[in-house]
Amino acid sequence: MNDIAEILEREAAPAPANARKVYVKTYGCQMNVYDSQRMTDALGADGYVETATIDDADMVLINTCHIREKAAEKVYSQLGRLRKLRDKRRAEGRDVLVGVAGCVAQAEGEEILRRAPVVDFVIGPQTYHRLPQVAAEARRGVKLVETDYAIEDKFEQLPAHDARQIRARGVTAFLTVQEGCDKFCTFCVVPYTRGAEVSRPVGQIVAEARQLVDAGVREVTLLGQNVNAWHGEGPDGREWGLGQLLHELAKIEGLARLRYTTSHPRDMDDALIEAHRDLECLMPYLHLPVQAGSDRLLKAMNRKHTADEYRRLVDRIRAARPDIALSGDFIVGFPGETEADFEDTMRLIRDIGYAQAFSFKYSPRPGTPGADLADQVPDALKSERLQRLQALLAGQQAAFMQGLEGKTISVLLEKPGREFGQIAGRSPWLQPVVCSETVGKIGDIVNVRISRASANSLLADGA
C-alpha cells in the first residue's frame, strides 16, 4: 500500500477557475455527515466544488435533522439569514442557489417552499443522486421538491467518490451500509423520514471501502439507522449478516480500523458478538442505545426488549471482548414516566457503566405515536431528572477516562494539533488523543502512553 502521509500530502488538483462552489451546512447524525459528503460528490458532476466559506458559495445546502424538538423552526431561522445573503448578492449583481436537504426536507416538503421563498429546491435523503439534475433546473428558475423515493435507487446510483475530496477529508470515513428503520419506536421519526430498512449488497460496500482505502483512509465507520440489522446479498448469492460483512472488510489491505453505528439491542446476534471477539481491527467501542431502564417505559416506547435482556446482552458482549467500552442513548421524561421509572433507568446506568452517553429530554415529534400519548411530563421535571442523569453519566465517563492514565494505547494520528509541535489522533474508544508530533505522521497508528485525562480528551507523554 502507498504511504498514507504521501497520499495525503499530494497537492490536490486545483479547481477550474470557472468552477461553481457549494457550501453545505450539516445538522444531526453521522448519516447526515456522510450524505453531505455524497451530495458534494454528486454535484462534482455538475461542475461544483466544495467550499468552507459561505460567502464564496454559488449554492448553499442545508442538510437538516428532524430528531429534536423545533428542528423545523431552526431551519426557517437559518433560511431567514440566507434570504439576507441573497439580497446582498443580488445587490452586487450575482446570485446564490439555496437548497434544503435531509429529514426536515422529507417531512416538510412543499411547506418549505411556501414558508421560505428564498429556497430554490427541497430534496429528501433518498434522492441525492438526482441532485445535479435538480440543481440544473434550479439554475433555470424551476423550483422543485424531490422527496419521492425508492432507497434502492439511491444505493444503485451513488456517484463514485472523488479521491481528491477523500484525501481532503482525512484518514477516517463514513460508509453507509443500511438505511431506514422498521422498529417504529414510538418516540422516533426516522421510519417516516428515512423509510423502511434497506441494506446494500456486499459487493457495493466492499467496492466503496476499497475506494476509500486507496485514497488514504485507514478507519471506516459503517453507518445505518439500525446498522446491525444489515442483511445484504453476498457474492455467494446468500444473505449475509453484519458479522460476516465485517470479516470481509477486515481482509482489505490497509484498512486498519472498523467501527459501526447505530445499533439496536434486538439485532445484536451471535455472529456480530463473535466478530468483536475475533477481529482485531474491529474497535472495542459499541454504541448500544437502550433509552430507558424501566420495562414499563420500554414497552411504551415499543423497544421490544426488557432492561434485564439488555443487561444480559451486555454481559455476553463483554465476555467476548473484555476491553469494550459502551455508549448509549437515554430519553428522560417520556410520557408517563414516574420517579420509579426514572430510578429504574438510573439503576441500569449504574449496573452497566458507560464510557460515554447521549441523553435528552423527550420532545414530541409530530406524526409519531408518542406525540399523542397522555400524561406528558412537565418540562421542569424533565430538566431536573436530566440533570441528575447527566451527572451520573459524567461521573462514569470521567472514571473511564481516568482509568486510561498511565496505560499505553494505540492511536490513529488524524490531523495537526492545536498547539505547535502537537499532532492529534483517536483512541480505540473514540477519545481525542493529543500527542507530540515526533511520534509519527498523519495516517500512522502508534502506541503512546497516556499521561493525563481531561473530561473529553487524553494527553500522551511528551505532548
Q: What count of residues does the chain have?
A: 463
Q: Which of the residue ranges 79-88, 112-121, 267-276, 370-379 has the most confident prediction, judged by mean pLDDT?
A: 267-276
Backbone region of residue 250 per phi and psi (left: phi > 0; alpha: psi in -120 to 50; beta: other values):
alpha
Q: Which of the residue ranges 116-130, 172-186, 360-374 has the most confident prediction, judged by mean pLDDT?
A: 172-186
Q: How much is the average pLDDT of 250-264? A: 97
β-strand pairing of 144-146 with 48-50: unpaired
C-alpha span between 125 and 103 (Å, rounded): 7
**pLDDT at position 157:** 61
pLDDT band of residue 93 (cuts 50, 70, 90) is confident
pLDDT beyond 60 at 39: yes
Q: How much is the average pLDDT of 406-425? A: 96
C-alpha span between 281 and 219 (Å, rounded): 9
**pLDDT at position 315:** 98
pLDDT beyond 70 at 13: no
Task: Give the DSSP H/E element, type plus range, for residue 193.
Answer: helix 190-193
Q: What percent of the chain has pLDDT over 90?
A: 63
**SS3 per-residue string spanning 325-344:** EEEEEEEECCCCCCHHHHHH
**pLDDT at position 154:** 57
Cβ(198)–Cβ(166) below 8 Å: no
In eight-state DSSP terms, residue 369 is: G
Place of cell 439555496: 98
H helices present in 10-98, as ranges: 30-44, 71-91
Q: How much is the average pLDDT of 384-393? A: 98
In eight-state DSSP terms, residue 259 is: E
pLDDT band of residue 7 (cuts 50, 70, 90) is very low
pLDDT beyond 60 at 17: no
User: Shortest CA distance to 361 belongs to which of 349, 370, 348?
Assistant: 370
Report in angstroms the alpha-carbon separations of 136 from 19, 92, 115, 269, 289.
14, 23, 23, 46, 41
pLDDT beyond 90 at 274: yes
Q: How much is the average pLDDT of 360-364? A: 91
Lowest-confidence segment of 127-141, 153-167, 228-242, 406-420 by average pLDDT? 153-167
Task: Give the DSSP H/E element, type plus range, for residue 307.
Answer: helix 307-320
**pLDDT at position 2:** 41
Burial 310-323 (b: 16+ CB within 10 A, else e): beebbeebbebbee
Cβ(103)–Cβ(28) below 8 Å: yes
pLDDT beyond 60 at 248: yes
Confidence (pTM): 0.82
**pLDDT at position 251:** 98
Task: Determine how many CB atoms are found less than 10 A away from the CB of residue 350.
Answer: 12
Q: How much is the average pLDDT of 322-329? A: 97
Task: Calculate the CA 381 to chain-centre distance.
Answer: 30
pLDDT beyond 50 at 357: yes
pLDDT band of residue 214 (cuts 50, 70, 90) is very high
Q: How much is the average pLDDT of 316-323? A: 98
Please, what is the average pLDDT of the chain? 89
User: Shortest CA distance to 267 belongs to which of 230, 321, 322, 307?
Assistant: 230
**pLDDT at position 371:** 86
Give me the torsion for CA of 390, 396, 402, 404, rounded to 10°: -120
pLDDT band of residue 1 (cuts 50, 70, 90) is very low
Report residue 252: phi and psi, to 5°. -70, 120
**pLDDT at position 69:** 63
Q: What percent of the chain has pLDDT over 70?
A: 91
Lowest-confidence segment of 67-81, 87-101, 279-293 by average pLDDT? 67-81
Q: All 3 cell numbers of residue 45? A: 458532476
pLDDT tens-digit readout, 157-172: 665 666 666 777 789 9
**pLDDT at position 444:** 97
**pLDDT at position 4:** 45
**pLDDT at position 61:** 94
**pLDDT at position 160:** 64
**pLDDT at position 11:** 38
pLDDT beyond 60 at 151: no
